[in-house]
Amino acid sequence: MQISGTRALVTGAAGGLGDAISRELAARGSTITASGRNQAGLERLANQLAGDVELCDLTDHEQVDALAGRVGEWDILVANAGTGGDVPIEQMDDAHIDDFISINLRAPIVLATRFIQQRRAAGKGGHVVLIGSLSGVVATPESRMYNATKFGLRGFGLSLRQDLTGEPIGVSVVAPGFVRDAGMFANNDVELPPGVRTSSPAEVGRAVARAIEKDLAEVFVAPREVRVLASFGGLAPGISERIQQRLGVAERKRGK
């Protein structure tokens, strides 16, 4: 799908990754609608990109459903908004669980589903990009809800793509690894094991654009060694667990 001349809705656009994705798509000729709940940040970005703003709190199901009611107005949907930062098990409650599921799983599923329904009904094509994570491929300690929702989002996206075989609507999952300067990893100040490299927000933006233009099923945004480790961890979770224990991953996440 050609990006130039399209209209794109980007959720979580005021954040670091959403900002980079919006700028990349705008640079390729798309008119951006920046969505989220940080009105000042969204308006600043929209003014810079000559775009629009859609306020939406993804924990509020009524707001999500209202946006979903007209999501087919856009040619491209980038479901980027997400939350991270699992709390210790002793502090987990229903509200914590519900927020993770609402933001990371329910909202992108609702928006993607309604987008496809509306574009189909109008006889139009389009593209959905779900911003996942390598945490949707391999599990790590201290990330149970983030892993759970990103695993679920990846499964939904890859299955949905197969349901649309032969149709002019594409679905891609873009899965960043450790991204410096923005996103869940940077915001939670996790110490990486020695030798593990990171990616930039701009690389995520370029990956999103490439996924749309080439209609790719899944794109990992990470250095080669991180992609290899993630793929191996998905295939051999028991061995991955033992490696992570030796590297002290849990302790690094706790800042100890």
User: What secondary structure does DSSP assign to 17-52, as a single string?
Assistant: HHHHHHHHHHHTTPEEEEEES-HHHHHHHHHHHT-E
| pLDDT at position 16 | 82
**Quick check: is 2 in a domain?**
no
How many residues in total does the chain contain? 256
Residue with tokens 């593209």: 127
Q: Tell whether 166 is covered by a domain.
A: yes
**What is the per-residue pLDDT for 32?**
98
Q: What is the pLDDT of residues 213-237, one digit of tens each?
A: 999 999 999 998 888 988 988 999 9
Report yes or no on 209 lying in a domain.
yes
Angle, alpha carbons 23-206-125 (nearest 5°): 85
Name the residues annotated as catalytic.
146
* CA 205 to chain centroid: 11
CB 16 within 8 A of CB 45: no
* Residue whose C-alpha is closest to residue 78's, from 99, 50, 107: 107
DSSP 179: B
Rounded CA-CA distance 82/63 in Å is 16
Dump pLDDT digits (tens) for 156-198: 999 999 999 999 999 999 999 989 877 555 555 566 666 678 8
Residue type at 24 in one-letter notation: E
- This prediction has a pTM of 0.92
pLDDT for 13: 97
Domain range enclosing 193: 7-253
Query: Residue for token digits 């695993």?
Result: 151
CATH code, 116: 3.40.50.720
- Does any domain span residue 1? no
Question: What's the chain's average pLDDT?
Answer: 93
Establish if 107 belongs to a structural domain: yes
Of 28-37, 75-84, 233-242, the range with the lowest mean pLDDT is: 233-242
What is the DSSP secondary structure assignment for residue 30, as one 8-state letter? P
Token pair in block for residue 41? 């940040």
**Residue 85 clears pLDDT 90, i.e. is over it:** no
Average pLDDT over residues 200-212: 97
Q: How many angstroms separate the CA atoms of 116 and 113, rounded?
A: 5
In a domain, 135, yes or no: yes
**CA–CA gap between residue 11 and residue 81 (Å, rounded):** 5
Q: 100 with 151: CB under 8 angstroms?
A: no
Q: How many domains does the chain have?
A: 1
Nearest to 5 by CA among 24, 28, 41, 30: 30
Please compute the mean of the pLDDT values over residues 81-94 and round it to a whole number.
Answer: 93
